């Protein structure tokens, strides 16, 4: 039980440290909007500015985890 508590506390603290805005509900709305628009082949300016040039140059890094990271960085930071 102690290890489960420490693991969950570490996960929550780690997510909050990397994305401080993860606890704000308005940021979750932004995240859902980016996901919804990306499925319709549209992209918001906020998400486009969060993309690094190296991501655009490497076509092999277009997996789901990197897309999730970009959407999270655009909304939660």
For residue range 5-41, list pLDDT tens digits in order: 999 999 989 888 888 888 888 888 888 887 777 767 6
Instruction: Give the count of domains, the chain.
Output: 1
pLDDT > 90 fraction of the chain, expressed in percent and rounded: 12
Domain range spanning residue 15? 2-76
Q: Please compute the mean of the pLDDT values over residues 54-69 and round it to a whole number.
A: 66
pTM of the predicted protein model: 0.57
DSSP state of 63: S
Under a CB-based contact definition with an 8 Å cutoff, are residues 75 and 21 in contact? yes
């Amino acid at each position: 039980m102690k290890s489960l508590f420490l693991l969950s506390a570490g996960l929550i603290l780690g997510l909050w440290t990397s994305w401080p805005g993860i606890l704000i509900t308005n940021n979750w709305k932004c995240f859902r909007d980016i996901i919804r628009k990306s499925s319709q082949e549209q992209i918001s300016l906020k998400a486009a500015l969060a993309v690094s040039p190296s991501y655009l140059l490497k076509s092999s890094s277009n997996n789901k985890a990197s897309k999730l990271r970009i959407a999270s960085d655009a909304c939660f930071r």
